[in-house]
Amino acid sequence: MNTEKELTNEFHGRADRIDGSPISFDDVVGRAGAIRRRRRITTGVAALAAAAVIVPTAMFGGGLFDNDAAPDPAKPNTQQVHDAVLDPSLPEGDPPRLAYVDGPTLVQPDGTTVDLGKSYGAPRKAGDEHLGASGFEGGEPSIDVLDQQWNVIDSVPMMNGPVSSADGSVAAWVALDGTVVTRSGGRSLELGKVDGDYVTPVAVLGHDSCTEADGGCRVFVTVQNGSPVSVDSHGIVDVVPGHFTNVAAVSADNLIAGVVTPISAAPTDPVCSAVYDEQAMRQLFKTCDLAFGYSAGFSPDNSLLAGYHSDTDGAGPRSMTIVDARTGEKALGIDLDRAIGKNTSIVGADWEDDDHLLVRTMGPAANAPGAYNLYRVGLDGTVERLLERDYDNGTMTQPWLMMQP
Amino acid sequence: MAQDRGSAKDAEFSDWMAARQAALLRTAYLLTGDHHGAEDLVQQTLAKVYLTWGKVRDRDAIDGYARRILVNENNSIWRRAWKKRETVSDQVPDWVPAHDAYDEGRSSALWNLVQTLPRRQRAAVVLRYYEELSEAETADVLGVSVGTVKSQTSRALATLRTNAPDHGISRALDLGEEER
């Protein structure tokens, strides 16, 4: 018997006796509603298969947004709006100005490389250290603490993370039991435990230290099938204001972006997102056309916010819109060139600086799981193509994961 | 009237789901290697099919569409992290075969070996040797070229043959080395 027949026999022997229908119609409808609300932007080949779900009704004449609160009159939008087109035929430009990770290799802006020993995704800064997540390819997910020489000095099991504060001085993750743990100044500190499934850290507000004596810090987390909460250095776990069902990004000046459509909404209801100003205690704007999850989030100066069009669930987005973080008005549109095959989509974006985004695209490749391109897109509409490759390192890790902050 | 249309859609979907759920579970089990993961994967797949049900004009294409979602959901990086969390449980689903003779002996070793394959390679061999799809059909499901299917399948088989001795499988005897 050859290998192929052996496999066929093994597979049929394993699977053919599985029968029954354990999943009810109600289960499916419930999950469908969760999908619509989360508006996940999947990566990798998943983006090639599933189609866009529901096309929101376009809002003509009144702009993209349903403003529940008036734009801040003190900061009128004076920025000229541009539309950028991602074109793989553009000549290759300068390399990214951010350090990035490509499989197990860290590439510094000066071109020097460091072998990290394993694929961490994108490590996050925690003062002089970095935190790297691993274990999703097999084994238990864990956080490795890396010193300045990129040596692993500690490794702890985790549920989700890590994330970093805007200045990179504080990082956080969620331990297996739901405890939010921070790392700064070379020490780990447990803030508090969050009940619920799949607790995920989204953002950290704080500088240098998370101890109460030093002013403390605050970690925002999302909870599957529950309200997002924040946990602070006093150990207080509190629901995030703004009636969010999940939080996508938090700016250093306390703007919160996320989904506001209730969990109880019908699966066919539009999924809407909003930005809430925690200091002013008011919603700044609401949109049912954009989703802010799995995007670049707020710009480093907190003035802009990156979003994907909310009808891109599953199929992968082919466009992005950068909006004024306080008014929701469009500042920049980013679209894939129409000549690019329909199976190509945007799989990631990061702010390189206040005026530029780094955008990754992925499409089918002849001899590899995916063909990737990396673009630099300026707020002035300029586009540079930075890197290109047919990518297959066997790790399922995307290339060019930018080190943020 | 809109409600009537919704009810009709739900009824139609429900019928399709009842007919196809077991088959999706079988493939999902081979892709994920565990029953909880398979059930979760199928639920996710069915939910996505449900959301697009009203948009799919060619009902004959639904099965293939669902298979594409199933395989590619399983391949997505994000999902693997999530699934890992969701599959932790002490409870055994009631649809698991009461006694699985394949848990012993050579087949168990082969099964373990299959689970060491990278997900794309594993998907390729499941589609080729369980679903018995052609290379072109497999390429369509995976959203890659036929050449990639050939290379992924070839790598998978080579890995199985190479690693067989480490998993207690006599390479020549049990994996048909002599027949290659």
* Burial A101-121, CB ≥16 within 10 A → b, else e: bbbbebbeeeeeeeebeebbb
Task: Centre a 10 Å sphere on the Cβ of residue A322 and count the other Cβ atoms it contains.
Answer: 27
Cβ <8 Å between B114 and A7: yes
In terms of DSSP H, where are the helices of chain B? Answer: 2-32, 35-52, 62-75, 77-86, 105-114, 119-129, 135-142, 146-163, 171-174
Q: Which helix (H) or strand (E) holds A179?
A: strand A179-184
Rounded Cα distance between A180 and B10, Å, is 41
Residue B147: which of A42, A197, A367 has the nearest Cβ? A367
Mutation site for B-interface testing, chosen from A21, A54, A269, A295 by largest number of B Cβ within 10 Å = A21
**From the centroid of its chain, how far is CA B67?**
8
**Contact status, residue A134 vs residue A144, Cβ threshold 8 Å:** yes
* pLDDT value of residue B23: 92
For position A119, which CATH number holds? 2.130.10.10
Q: How confident is the model at residue A39 (pLDDT cuts 50, 70, 90)?
A: very low
Q: Which amino acid is at B155?
A: R
- Fold of the B1-88 domain: Rna Polymerase Sigma Factor; Chain: A (1.10.1740)
Q: Is the dihedral of CA A244, A247, A252, A255 positive or negative?
A: negative
Q: Is the dihedral of CA A30, A36, A41, A42 positive or negative?
A: positive
Across A37-46, A83-92, B123-132, least confident range: A37-46
List, for residues A339-374, the tens digit of each pLDDT value.
777 778 888 899 999 999 999 988 776 655 567 889
Count contacts between A and B (CB, < 8 Å).
202
Q: Which amino acid is at A171?
A: A
Expressed in angstroms, the distance from the first to the final Cα of chain A is: 55
Cβ <8 Å between B176 and A5: yes
The answer to whether residue A213 scores a pLDDT higher than 80 is no
Give the strand pairing for A171-174 and A179-184. Answer: antiparallel
Q: How confident is the model at residue B175 (pLDDT cuts 50, 70, 90)?
A: very low
- Degrees to nearest 5, angle at CA A170 with A167 and A175: 145
Quick check: B76 contacting A, CB < 8 Å?
yes
User: pLDDT higher for B158 or A65?
Assistant: B158
List, for residues B69-114, the tens digit of each pLDDT value.
888 788 764 444 433 333 333 344 444 443 444 444 555 778 888 8
Q: Chain A contacts of B128, Cβ < 8 Å?
A: 4
Q: Which residues contact A260 (CB under 8 A, 6 or more apart)?
A: A242, A243, A244, A245, A272, A273, A274, A286
Chain B (82-101) residues lying within 8 Å, Cβ to Cβ, of chain A:
82, 84-86, 93-97, 100-101
Q: Search chain B and give the residue with CA nearest A15.
A: B26
Rounded Cα distance between A104 and B118, Å, is 17
Its domain, for residue A206, covers 43-402
**Contact status, residue A386 vs residue A31, Cβ threshold 8 Å:** no
Give the strand pairing for A345-353 and A356-363. Answer: antiparallel
Quick check: B53 contacting A, CB < 8 Å?
no
* pLDDT value of residue A59: 22
Domain ranges of chain B: 1-88, 102-180
Half-sphere exposure of B88 (CA within 13 A, CB side): 13
Query: Pseudo-torsion of CA A40, A46, A50, A52, nearest 10°?
Result: 40
Structure tokens at A106: 């860290």
Rounded Cα distance between B38 and B172, Å, is 32
CATH number of B102-180: 1.10.10.10
Determine the 3-state secondary structure of A37 from DSSP. Answer: helix
* Burial A236-263, CB ≥16 within 10 A → b, else e: ebeebebebbbbbbbbbbebbbbbbbee
Cα–Cα nearest to A367, from B120, B68, B75: B120
Rounded Cα distance between A274 and A27, Å, is 28
Cβ <8 Å between B147 and A397: no
Q: Which helix (H) or strand (E) holds A172?
A: strand A171-174
Residue B47: which of A15, A31, A46 has the nearest Cβ? A31
Quick check: B159 contacting A, CB < 8 Å?
no
List, for residues A89-125, the tens digit of each pLDDT value.
887 888 899 999 888 889 998 989 999 988 887 789 9
Cβ <8 Å between B143 and A343: yes
Calculate how close chain A gets to B180, using CA atoms only, in Å: 7
* Interface predicted TM-score (ipTM): 0.81
Q: Search chain A and give the residue with CA nearest B100.
A: A14
Residue with tokens 């939910």: B47
Structure tokens at B50: 């449900």
Q: Chain B contacts of A46, Cβ < 8 Å?
A: 72-73, 75-76, 78-79
Rounded Cα distance between A319 and A391, Å, is 22
Mean pLDDT of A10-14: 88
Determine the 3-state secondary structure of A61 from DSSP. Answer: coil
Beta partners for residue A336, in sequence order: A86
Structure tokens at B64: 């293939």
* pLDDT value of residue B180: 37
Mean pLDDT of A188-214: 88
Cα A255 to Cα A144, A274, A374, distances in angstroms: 30, 10, 29
* Number of structural domains in chain A: 1
Q: Search chain B and give the residue with CA nearest A178.
A: B85
* pLDDT value of residue B89: 36
Domain-embedded: residue A342: yes
Rounded Cα distance between A326 and A71, Å, is 7
Cβ <8 Å between B129 and A45: no
Calculate how close chain A gets to B67, using CA atoms only, in Å: 9
Where are the strands (E) in A228-382, listed by range? Answer: 229-232, 237-239, 246-250, 255-259, 273-277, 282-287, 290-291, 304-309, 319-324, 330-336, 345-353, 356-363, 370-378
Q: How many residues does chain B have?
A: 180
Mutation site for A-interface testing, chosen from B77, B104, B107, B160 by largest number of A Cβ within 10 Å = B77
Quick check: A74 contacting B, CB < 8 Å?
no
**Contact status, residue A284 vs residue A298, Cβ threshold 8 Å:** no
Q: Which residues contact A293 (CB under 8 A, 6 or more apart)?
A: A38, A39, A40, A41, A246, A248, A258, A259
Q: Chain B contacts of A197, Cβ < 8 Å?
A: 85-86
Residue with tokens 């983006």: A47
Cβ <8 Å between A14 and B30: yes
Cβ <8 Å between B81 and A364: no
Quick check: A18 contacting B, CB < 8 Å?
yes
Mean pLDDT score across all residues of chain A: 81
Mean pLDDT score across all residues of chain B: 73
Structure tokens at A73: 């009159």
Q: Search chain B and give the residue with CA nearest A176.
A: B85
Mean pLDDT of A233-244: 90
The answer to whether residue A210 scores a pLDDT higher than 50 is yes
